[in-house]
Amino acid sequence: AQKVTQAQTEISVVEKEDVTLDCVYETRDTTYYLFWYKQPPSGELVFLIRRNSFDEQNEISGRYSWNFQKSTSSFNFTITASQVVDSAVYFCALSEDGKTSGSRLTFGEGTQLTVNP
């Protein structure tokens, strides 16, 4: 069975600090996808990134960057120069092979990030 662990329940930083959100996953599939979603106070989950299991290249998008390491089964998310608007709950998720069971996402428990001015 697949599992996603986000060990950090809550993180609080001061604006402009860098912060890394950890995500560790378990799966027996060799083909899988990893996702990060942001849930602001308004409620809807906002898609941030998708990474497939064959692409370990790190990705940067503005102040956001992601570090995917299959050797440690981790897919960590870093926000550089954090801003108050980054305050939200962030979810890491894993999708198993869609050929047999469809696009079923397993979510971690989420990390509540608070960025203080």
Partner 1 sequence: ETGVTQTPRHLVMGMTNKKSLKCEQHLGHNAMYWYKQSAKKPLELMFVYSLEERVENNSVPSRFSPECPNSSHLFLHLHTLQPEDSALYLCASSQDWVTYNEQFFGPGTRLTVL
Could you say whether residue 90 binds partner 1 (CB under 8 A)? Answer: no
Least distance (Å) between residue 17 CB and partner 1: 26
Residue among 51 and 82 whose Cβ is closer to partner 1: 51
Query: Minimum Å distance from CB 32 to partner 1?
Result: 8
Residue (33 or 75) nearer to partner 1, CB: 33
Distance CA 83, CA 117 (A): 8
Q: On the CB side of 57, how many CA atoms lie within 13 Å of its CA? A: 3
